[in-house]
Chain A
């Protein structure tokens, strides 16, 4: 039962991460298609995106299990960035997710991916910084009141 519960929790956690990446992938695919004047998205590409997002989410869950300090694990973060690039750039290029996009458009998508990856870590860092400020304010208040 314990094994099943662990597997179930892993599944739930992975599913959330997969959903986050898949929604971003679908958003950019839809945006690119709209800019190219296409108003449909190929179902096969959506399935490929879903599977690649699932694969990346699985790797991410393995790299950052619950309880790990994400900002302190520099080697894991570096590996996470490499995996994101390999999976998303590899699939995007190899499986032709964005046909008809010019070279500069492809480079822009790569830049957007790098920016999105950096933004995720910036958000974590910002969250910790704000939490630290709140903790110290609470501490000073406690020390002056008690």
Chain B
């Protein structure tokens, strides 16, 4: 594969892939580019920015109009809203659990039916998160129930 880097005066970086057919090699390049784009830009208390892969995120919640992102080890803030997080990473397991929380379904250890249509989720970190009555039917649908 021939790789050419051109330095041009452009408003933003641009990647153009040219190929006769979309073969394995090109699909690999595409997936690499896409996984790069799917990274979530967050910052910690000392305003140091980090790029997280969605898989690292356990859950996100809003507190006082700020969106916090929790991984197993740390807590960050992001500029994205819960709705954006849900829609952007829905295919990677992000699910809206309530008005103020989005959870990564891959980081749920277990679920417990709580009556009145609610579901309690125990996360891999041991924290418990309640899926509200409004969102519980959507979770069941997502799980194929």
Contacts and interface: CB of A to CB of B under 8 A. Distances in A.
Interface in B119-133: 119, 133
A1 interface: no
Given A66-B116, A68-B116, A135-B143, 19 more contacts: A67-B116, A67-B117, A69-B115, A69-B116, A70-B116, A72-B114, A72-B115, A124-B115, A129-B113, A134-B145, A135-B112, A138-B143, A138-B144, A138-B145, A141-B144, A142-B93, A142-B143, A142-B144, A143-B106
Interface residues of A, number: 21
B40 interface: no
Contact of B145 (A68, A124, A135, A143): A135
A132 B113 CA distance: 5
A146 B106 contact: yes
A142 B113 contact: no
B113 A128 contact: yes
Main secondary structure of the interface of A (DSSP, over half): helix
A36 interface: no
Interface residues of B, number: 21
A114 interface: no
Interface of B: 92-93, 105-106, 108, 110-119, 133, 140, 142-145
A68 to B, nearest CB: 6
A136 interface: yes
Interface of A: 66-72, 124, 128-129, 131-132, 134-136, 138-139, 141-143, 146
A70 B115 contact: yes
